[in-house]
Chains A and B, each alone.
Chain A
């Protein structure tokens, strides 16, 4: 019979891994780059945070305690991942990457300068 400690670790790891698999499926299935960023930016971040917390819980109370490093890694990931995704989405919108044809509302139209890309904007 697994102990409560192991059940907690397994629950954190399995939830994080499930979110990472959802991220991969979203990367393949979603129609345009902004939807893919939606999948990678939210589910991926939460998945990594849960897995790192699982490691920190697993080694808590033993000789090799990583609570501080784990918490700092979680903090760092929560700080940098939204910034990176936001920068990339803004750059994509400025470079006029095509939206999905099922897009209903484009509220950003006319607010950002447009700069169609010469180098990378080819198929």
Chain B
């Protein structure tokens, strides 16, 4: 891996970490449940980005399947919180 790409990967990791910290801050202060749900969804996306950057850094696609799982968990989490807020129950 060239120096150029490794510098870009470090930069991406730092920026994604900053974005994740912003999501955590919104989860901490966000006045109601839906704000926290949105922040959780975004945090799952940030984790997907971190996993992708680390895949390139380690030159391995072993962890690429975790992308699927995080997408599923984010979607199911948001959908079930929405159902619960709307009807008072999930099913």
Contacts and interface: CB of A to CB of B under 8 A. Distances in A.
Interface string A68-82: 011001001100110
Interface in A54-77: 54-55, 58-59, 64, 66, 69-70, 73, 76-77
B54 to A, nearest CB: 10
Interface string A16-58: 1110110111011000010011001000110110011011001
Contact of A6 (B5, B46, B53): B5
B78 A9 contact: no
A22 B37 CA distance: 18
Interface residues of A, number: 58
A16 B49 contact: yes
A98 B63 CA distance: 41
Contact of A23 (B8, B19, B71): B19
21 contacts: A2-B2, A6-B4, A14-B8, A17-B16, A20-B15, A20-B19, A21-B16, A24-B23, A40-B42, A59-B55, A69-B64, A73-B71, A80-B71, A84-B41, A84-B78, A88-B78, A91-B83, A92-B85, A97-B32, A115-B88, A121-B32
Interface of B: 2, 4-5, 8-9, 11-12, 15-16, 18-23, 25-26, 31-35, 37-39, 41-42, 45-46, 48-49, 52-53, 55-56, 60-61, 64-65, 67-68, 71, 74-75, 78-79, 81-83, 85-86, 88
